[in-house]
């Protein structure tokens, strides 16, 4: 074998006519996967759950094999797709009939923020870092936790937010990235400080330790109190 043999790299020992068969196999895989998604009732990627991701990955593996390997016949792959479709139907039926089974398989929504305070234990159970969660909040124009009445982490990873009314917004922990949010052990000046771990706010005098009475963690930053500003809506021409 010689390196940089472009004939081997591009087509190897296969004849050029095999490329037409690859196109046919790819079309077959595309049609079968599309039929699976239509029959299963999926309408968009955002609705795909953990179980459905597992099914789609299995489908993708089977589709890749049948698309590129000349020794993989089509009918066994079709049986794979039919088996997965039956498994999908049976599993979703069992999830609808048995709530505990559905919760075990896909999980349940978890309240992460309640009344402007951060539930760090709930987020830790979901194995998501606070930085990652704060990024999701910033994407929905949240500047600090005091703007959020309720934040729910959905089973598909989305974050559903319910905001305080404008006259109910309270001071809260900034969700800005660390370079834009101070982290002090002692208050440099008099003011309202938020715990960097759970969001609890307390008024401190200059030089006083930033030690949270709620979660017992040290470190805090000046609390923000600005009202929530919704993302601007683009005007249609």
Token readout for 115 is 């009344």
CATH number reported for the structural domain that contains residue 159 in this entry? 3.30.240.20
Mean pLDDT of 176-204: 89
User: pTM of whole model > 0.75?
Assistant: no
Q: Mark whether 133 and 211 lie in a shared domain.
A: yes
- Residue-wise pLDDT tens digits, 86-110: 887 888 888 888 888 877 777 788 8
Q: Mark whether 91 and 125 lie in a shared domain.
A: no
Residue 148 has pLDDT above 80, yes or no: yes
Q: Mark whether 36 and 121 lie in a shared domain.
A: no
DSSP string, 6-51: HHHHHTTTS-TTHHHHHHHHHHHHHHHHHHHHHHHT---GGG--HH
Q: Mark whether 167 and 194 lie in a shared domain.
A: yes
Residue 129 has pLDDT above 80, yes or no: no
Q: Mark whether 116 and 189 lie in a shared domain.
A: yes
Residue 127 lies in a domain: yes
Q: Mark whether 166 and 89 lie in a shared domain.
A: no
Is residue 223 within 8 Å of residue 193, measured between CB atoms? yes
Could you tell me the residue range of the domain that residue 60 belongs to?
14-103
- CA end-to-end distance (rounded Å), the chain: 61
Pairing relation of β-strands 201-204 and 191-195? antiparallel
Interhelix angle 74-97/18-40, nearest 10 degrees: 20
- Residue-wise pLDDT tens digits, 30-57: 677 767 766 765 544 455 666 677 777 7
């Amino acid at each position: 074998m010689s390196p940089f043999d472009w004939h081997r790299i591009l087509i190897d020992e296969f004849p050029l006519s095999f490329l037409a068969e690859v196109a046919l196999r790819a079309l077959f895989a595309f049609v079968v996967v599309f039929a699976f998604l239509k029959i299963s009732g999926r309408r968009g990627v955002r609705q795909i759950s953990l179980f459905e991701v597992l099914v789609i990955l299995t489908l993708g593996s089977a589709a890749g094999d049948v698309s590129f390997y000349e020794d993989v016949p089509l009918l066994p792959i079709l049986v794979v797709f039919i088996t997965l479709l039956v498994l999908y139907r049976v599993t979703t039926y069992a999830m609808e009939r048995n709530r505990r089974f559905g919760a075990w398989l896909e999980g349940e929504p978890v309240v992460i923020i309640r009344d402007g305070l951060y539930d760090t234990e709930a987020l830790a159970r979901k194995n998501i870092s606070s930085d990652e969660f704060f990024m999701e909040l910033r994407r929905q124009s949240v500047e600090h936790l005091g703007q959020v009445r309720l934040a729910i982490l959905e089973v598909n990873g989305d974050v559903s937010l319910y905001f305080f009314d404008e006259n109910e917004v309270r001071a809260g922990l900034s969700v800005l990235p660390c370079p834009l949010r101070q982290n002090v052990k002692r208050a440099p000046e008099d003011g309202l400080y938020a715990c960097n771990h759970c969001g609890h706010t307390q008024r401190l005098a200059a030089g006083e330790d930033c030690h949270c009475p709620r979660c017992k963690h040290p470190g805090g930053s000046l609390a923000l109190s600005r009202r929530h500003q919704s993302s601007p809506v683009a005007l249609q021409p």
